[in-house]
Amino acid sequence: MPETPTTIIPLDLAATSVDITRQLVDIHSVSGDEGPLADAIVASLADAQHLEIIRDGDTVVARTNFGRAQRVVIAGHIDVVPENDNVPSRYETIDGDEYLWGRGTVDMKAGVAVQLKLAAELTDPRVDITWMWYDHEEVSAALNGLGRLAANRPDLFVGDFSILGEPSNSQIEGGCNGNLRIEVRAFGKRSHSARGWVGSNAIHKLAPVLDTLAAYEAREVEVDGLVYREGLNAVGISGGVAGNVIPDEAMVHINYRFAPNRSGEEAIAHMHDLFGDYEITVVDLAEGARPGLDAPLAQEFLAAVGGEAKPKYGWTDVARFSALGIPSVNFGPGDPMKAHADDERVLTSQITSCEQALRVWLSKS
């Protein structure tokens, strides 16, 4: 897309976090198009004397440097999945509850709105804070803005605890499952199907693979007090040459979501235990993250927010912080089941409660 001169309009961070969410949703920022939103964020914080601003591509970092004993990293991605007639935003009332409806309301502009508001407001927090708003979370891991920043500016990734504003109904969700995808292949010998006995059918050879998948009982694993539910699923299957040919190759594409007490290497070994008779190709691997709730700051945060911490099933960038040695939890407004949905919408009361909990915890008592 050719660059066109645009006027940068700063966000109004003095508005309510619900209203800021609405401002964010109405700025188009599908992955790859985050530039205008990143510009708006930088412009909005230009006058904040308590913040050092760093920009890397369309990722914006804002941090305090008060020399506090502890530092917390608070992060959120500013991109969204493609729109589907669900912008601009609007308010809806369902069963007496007010919702803000539109692409990104849940995943995760409400979380970013809360963070932006507090970044501007908290000029004297009790810990140092590194705010990170990053691009390209909803696409290939290779494009992820947080990953790029970690490579370009590893010095920014210091902290005693981190909070990722991914939707979690404004409750704390600790850690995340790991995510492995493999291709399992069977081979045979091609022949004309009129004389099938001359060949050897690769699709038929996949029968034990599907049997194993259908019979598999996924583990429920307690890690640091949270119970993670695993999952083993075929997400694709293919094979076949023509309607009259015995196929010589067939493949099942398998997704294994594994609890964070298992390493990626162990997850791969488990696949070899299950499907060792076949050719196995690892397509994608993301390590899980332990919940990190044993860190002292995490315990304090948990106490401040109240309620009960839950496991996060889906993979999020908490795993990235966890791998860098920074305990990390998910905490943001919105029901994750509505993420990416065409009727994506967030309870406005969750935005407010998230804001309030973070403010209380980050302020001097």
Chain residues binding its own copies by CB under 8 A are 177, 179, 181, 192-197, 201, 203-207, 210-211, 213-214, 218, 229, 231, 233-247, 250, 252-253, 255, 257, 283-284, 313-315, 337
CB of 283 to its own copies, least distance (A): 8
239: tokens are: 């094979």
CB of 253 to its own copies, least distance (A): 6
The C-alpha atoms of residue 174 and residue 312 are separated, in whole angstroms, by 6
CB of 169 to its own copies, least distance (A): 14
CB of 265 to its own copies, least distance (A): 20
CB of 180 to its own copies, least distance (A): 11
Query: Which one, of 167, 180, 141, 326, lies nearest residue 259 by Cα?
Result: 180
Closer residue to its own copies (CB): 132 or 329: 329
Closer residue to its own copies (CB): 114 or 246: 246
CA angle 236, 144, 41 (to 5 degrees): 135
The C-alpha atoms of residue 329 and residue 311 are separated, in whole angstroms, by 9
Angle between helices 348-362 and 17-25 (to 10 degrees): 120
The C-alpha atoms of residue 220 and residue 103 are separated, in whole angstroms, by 33
Find out whether the peptide bond into 251 is cis, omega within 30 degrees of 0. Answer: no
The C-alpha atoms of residue 8 and residue 14 are separated, in whole angstroms, by 18
The C-alpha atoms of residue 298 and residue 161 are separated, in whole angstroms, by 7
Closer residue to its own copies (CB): 148 or 257: 257
Q: Does residue 79 have an active-site annotation?
A: yes
The C-alpha atoms of residue 326 and residue 309 are separated, in whole angstroms, by 18
Kindly list the distances between the CA atom of residue 183 and the CA atoms of 195, 232, 253, 275, 351, in Å, as whole numbers in the listed order. Answer: 29, 13, 5, 10, 41
Closer residue to its own copies (CB): 48 or 341: 341
Residue type, 306: G
Q: Which of 79, 160, 287, 355 is catalytic?
A: 79
CB of 341 to its own copies, least distance (A): 10
| DSSP for residue 333 | S
Closer residue to its own copies (CB): 81 or 323: 81
The C-alpha atoms of residue 325 and residue 161 are separated, in whole angstroms, by 9
| DSSP for residue 277 | T
Find out whether the peptide bond into 88 is cis, omega within 30 degrees of 0. Answer: yes
Closer residue to its own copies (CB): 68 or 204: 204
Q: Does residue 279 have an active-site annotation?
A: no
CB of 213 to its own copies, least distance (A): 5
CA angle 253, 138, 173 (to 5 degrees): 90
39: tokens are: 């510009």
Closer residue to its own copies (CB): 118 or 318: 318
CA angle 264, 265, 266 (to 5 degrees): 90
Q: Which of 39, 56, 128, 137 is catalytic?
A: 137
Residue 245: CA count within 13 A, CB half-sphere: 10
Active site residues: 79, 137
